[in-house]
Amino acid sequence: MRTAVLRSIRSRLTSSTSSSSPHLLRRCYGTESVPERKVAVLGAAGGIGQPLALLMKLNPLVSKLALYDIAGTPGVAADVSHINTRSEVAGYMGEEQLRQALEGSDVVVIPAGVPRKPGMTRDDLFNINAGIVKSLCAAISKYCPNALVNMISNPVNSTVPIAAEVFKKAGTYDEKKLFGVTTLDVVRAKTFYAGKAKVPVADVNVPVVGGHAGITILPLFSQATPKANLSDEEIVALTKRTQDGGTEVVEAKAGKGSATLSMAYAGAIFADACLKGLNGVPDVVECSFVQSNITELPFFASKVKLGKNGVEEVMGLGPLSDYEKQGLETLIPELKVSIEKGIKFANQN
Ligand SMILES: NC(=O)c1ccc[n+]([C@@H]2O[C@H](COP(=O)([O-])OP(=O)(O)OC[C@H]3O[C@@H](n4cnc5c(N)ncnc54)[C@H](O)[C@@H]3O)[C@@H](O)[C@H]2O)c1
Ligand SMILES: O=C(O)C[C@H](O)C(=O)O
């Protein structure tokens, strides 16, 4: 039973999250040919950090796993390190160990920061998380300026622009290497769509574009596959449930935080896609909030092709339904404000 579960998780992480062929992956990842890759998780002792550390330890593409937090990492690292998989695990605690945690990293995943409580918006986290993200990104620009950065800390619509500004000031900004992790929106859209359309969830694909907060999350159910005959009312309900997915969890947790387990899963899927891209696996595609020129906004989430240098191609939106066109028009002003807030913070503080 235990072996079957582990096999299933590992196969999900190494087979197609994207359009990559499982056969090709198997050929690319014969044990001898897997390159060395270091992944650092910043905020590794938290609600997301701990299950994410577990999932990254199960990922055979990782050879070194650095677990950093301001407290609690020795225990998490000792625990995870006993799992008999490829990567070597090390825990780092406190700012004086941040350099060691980051040096040599290929991918840095950042779930550091405070989560929401009921009644809060993601933007209410800005005052605390903006400063955390800014200082962590300053360290990244010093110690691993070439790493791919996977930003999970909220509000993603502002923390990604903050990171970009910090990297620009340090002279290390590479727009191909900075990603806002919006995979949980895709994970939710797939789950909700499969339930409504009564199709096997493993077969479902749904792009989610825009940003990562409320109406800025725009699932494109008109492009969902397998196709299903859903009514307009059903599409509206699915869209709203995807947009409010985070709040649904925050309310259910009743003051004990926000999504951690589903986020760890989503974060692991996205980090895995980044590693595959770095390793030269072709046609790795995931949605992510990146520097973009597909709309008038400087950052936007859409399908992105990942390659050896990070973003290989920011893909277009594809054909939109009238409902989606309207959603796009409505989200742009809100997303613009969040992006500008992040840029302003980074430049004033
Ligand atoms: N992008 C998404 O889809 C998504 C989904 C869920 C949660 N989130 C966000 O992820 C963040 C973390 O959520 P959580 O539930 O894991 O919170 P948590 O409070 O359980 O864990 C956060 C961890 O960050 C650590 N931390 C704080 N300051 C730090 C610093 N300067 N350096 C390193 N670590 C630091 C804390 O010690 C803690 O262990 C929140 O901002 C939350 O809103 C994003
Ligand atoms: O909703 C939150 O605050 C956390 C996260 O952004 C989510 O979508 O679950």
Q: Ligand 2 in contact with 291 (CB < 6 A)?
A: no
Average pLDDT over residues 136-157: 98
Binding residues for NAD(+): 43-49, 69, 129, 152-154, 263
Q: Is the dihedral of CA 100, 60, 192, 218 positive or negative?
A: positive
Portion of the chain with pLDDT greater than 70, in percent: 91
Structural tokens at position 106:
């290929």
Banded pLDDT at 33 (limits 50, 70, 90): confident
For ligand 2, the distance from its centroid to the CA atom of residue 259, given in whole angstroms, is 6
Cβ 129 under 6 angstroms from ligand 2:
no
What pLDDT score was predicted for residue 32?
A: 53
Asked if pLDDT for residue 4 goes beyond 50, the answer is no
Q: Which residue has the higher pLDDT, 27 or 227?
A: 227
Q: Please say if the pLDDT value at position 11 is more than 80.
A: no
Active-site option among 134, 177, 190, 212: 212
Domains of the chain from N-terminus onward: 31-180 (3.40.50.720), 183-348 (3.90.110.10)
Is the full-model pTM beyond 0.90? yes
Report residue 216's pLDDT band, with 50, 70 and 90 as the boundaries. very high
Mean pLDDT of 322-333: 98
| Closest atom of ligand 1 relative to the 112 alpha carbon | 24
Question: What mean pLDDT, rounded, does the chain reach?
Answer: 93
Mean of the pLDDT values across residues 194-205? Answer: 98
List the residue whose alpha carbon is closest to atom 2 of ligand 2: 246
User: Is the model's pLDDT at 10 over the cut of 80?
Assistant: no
Q: Among all ligands shown, which has an atom nearest to the Cα of 246?
A: 2
Ligand 2 contact, 214 CB (< 6 A): no
212 is catalytic: yes
- Taking CA atoms only, the protein residue closest to ligand 1 atom 18 is 46
Instruction: For residue range 69-97, list pLDDT tens digits in order.
Output: 999 999 999 999 999 999 999 999 999 99
Return the pLDDT at 308: 98
ipTM (interface predicted TM): 0.99
* Sign of torsion over alpha carbons 55, 105, 71, 156: negative
Is pLDDT of 1 > 90?
Answer: no
